[in-house]
Structure formats: C-alpha cells, structure tokens
C-alpha cells in the first residue's frame, strides 16, 4: 500500500468524521428534546454511536465485525468490559447493536462539538488519578444502570503498549457488585493496526469484537472483587487469543 493512498484514505476518513460530528449535533439535540421522558438517554446515545459505524464503513482500509450472543433485552443493564488495543476500539465496539454509556477521559468532553455530543449522549467523564472524580463517575454509572442502560468501561484504564493485557483495575467490578448487575465481557482483536500510535494516518485493519457470556454478580460482596476481576480477565485473554488465531 502506497503512502499516498494511505494519506488520501486517511484525509477522507477524517473529513467524514468531522462532517458526521457537525451533522449529528442538531439531530441529537432534537432527539433529546423528543425523548425527555427517558432519563437514560438510550436513543440519543444510540444515535451517537452510529457515527462510529458510518466512519468505519467509509474507510476502505478497515473491515470491522462483531460476533457472539447479543443480549436479548437491550435495556437489561450490564457493566460491559473489554480489552483495549487502540482508539479504534471505540469505533469497533460501537458496532454492537445496543446502547451503552461510556466512561471516558474528561479531556475528551472539552473537545468542541464532539464533547457536546458526548454530554448529550449521557457519557460519563472521569479525571485520571483524581479520587473525587472517580467516586463521582461511579455514582453516575450506578444511576445510569438504575435507568436500565449499560455502562462500558475499559478496566485496563489505558491502551496496552504490548500484546499483553494490562492488569485490570477494580472499579468496574465494584460497580457491578454494588449495582447488582452482571458483567458482560467483550474480547476484541485487530484494532491495534487501525490507527498506529503517533500517526494521523489510518492503516489496514481486520478487527472483530466478540460478545462473551455474561457473568452474574448476585450474592457477591466487595471481598469477591479480586477473584471476579481475574476470572473476567482470564476469560477475555482466552477469547482474544482465539480471535487472534482466527485472524492470523
């Protein structure tokens, strides 16, 4: 693949993203007004995720798919967790056909227009390394779950610089136990090449996310967090390795 073709495709894809962001703002604002009776902002958020599907479809270098058993009831709340390879993970996971509110870096909410869309969608900002912000974010997540909407968290906290998963943080697992909802693990592979670090150009990527079996938390207590965390991490590692073999 020539660098000129890669650059042209990348410029086109970034332009599609900018156009979608500008077009989606009035659509999401109108939908929010039309659905004020839904405090979970389910359909506003679902419309927001469609940006990712449009952008991924517009990029001829990418082939993004999902597999696994999609939850039968999209309004049954889960704490959804996934491994984290790339910024493109967001675009891949947004192909899943149900709405989730994302726990995201607070800095993203300050980006003009895009940050406004994230606020409209009901996503949850958190400042890394700031205890009060994390506590407030978890309280917001519990409220979202009580409104029958799932929450999406990357328990590694950041992208792994290697092929190995980073240790999982406790927050998502405390949240699931406190709220009495199941954990829904996702395993993804292939996005690491979609947008290489320190480069604005996109690259070829065949990526897949698999929805794994939910893990119930009924009857668990905070003392069970370490075991639950390691069980979920092991499940994701095993599935991710299987996906890597399939795509090899």
226-241 confidence digits (pLDDT tens)? 999 999 999 999 999 9
pLDDT at 1: 66
List the alpha helices (DSSP H) in 75-193: 88-93, 114-121, 131-146, 171-179
pLDDT at 199: 85
Instruction: Please state the pTM of the whole predicted model.
Output: 0.94
183-189 and 205-211 strand pairing: antiparallel
To the nearest 10°, the Cα dihedral for 228, 229, 234, 235? 60
pLDDT at 2: 84
Low-confidence ranges of the chain (pLDDT < 70): 1, 129-130
Q: Which domains does the chain have, with CATH numbers?
A: 3-247 (3.40.1130)
pLDDT at 150: 98
Write out pLDDT tens, residues 20-47: 999 999 999 999 999 999 999 999 999 9
Angle at 224 between CA 220 and CA 228, to 5 degrees: 95
Query: For residue 41, which of 142, 118, 153, 137 has the smallest C-alpha distance?
Result: 118
Query: CB of 166 within 8 A of CB of 160?
Result: yes
pLDDT at 98: 97
């Amino acid at each position: 693949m020539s660098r000129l073709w890669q650059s042209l495709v990348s410029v086109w894809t970034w332009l599609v993203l900018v156009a979608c962001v500008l077009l989606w703002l009035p659509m999401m604002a109108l939908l929010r007004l039309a659905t004020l009776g839904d405090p979970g902002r389910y359909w506003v958020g679902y419309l927001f995720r469609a940006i990712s599907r449009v952008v991924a479809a517009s990029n001829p270098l990418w082939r993004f798919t999902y597999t696994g058993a999609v939850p039968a009831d999209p309004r049954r709340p889960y704490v959804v967790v996934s491994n984290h390879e790339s910024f493109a993970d967001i675009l891949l996971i947004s192909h899943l056909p149900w709405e989730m509110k994302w726990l995201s870096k607070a800095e993203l909410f300050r980006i003009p227009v895009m940050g406004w869309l994230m606020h409209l969608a009901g996503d949850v900002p958190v400042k890394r390394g700031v205890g009060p912000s994390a506590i407030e974010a978890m309280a917001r997540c519990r409220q979202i779950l009580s409104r029958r909407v799932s929450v999406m968290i990357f328990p590694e906290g950041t992208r792994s610089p290697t092929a190995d998963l980073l240790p999982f943080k406790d927050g998502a697992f405390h949240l699931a136990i406190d709220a009495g909802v199941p954990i829904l693990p996702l395993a993804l592979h292939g996005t690491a090449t979609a947008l290489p670090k320190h480069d604005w150009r996109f690259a070829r990527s065949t990526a897949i996310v698999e929805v794994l079996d939910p893990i119930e938390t009924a009857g668990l207590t905070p003392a069970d967090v370490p075991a639950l965390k390691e069980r979920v991490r092991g499940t994701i590692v095993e599935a991710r390795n299987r996906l890597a073999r399939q795509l090899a």
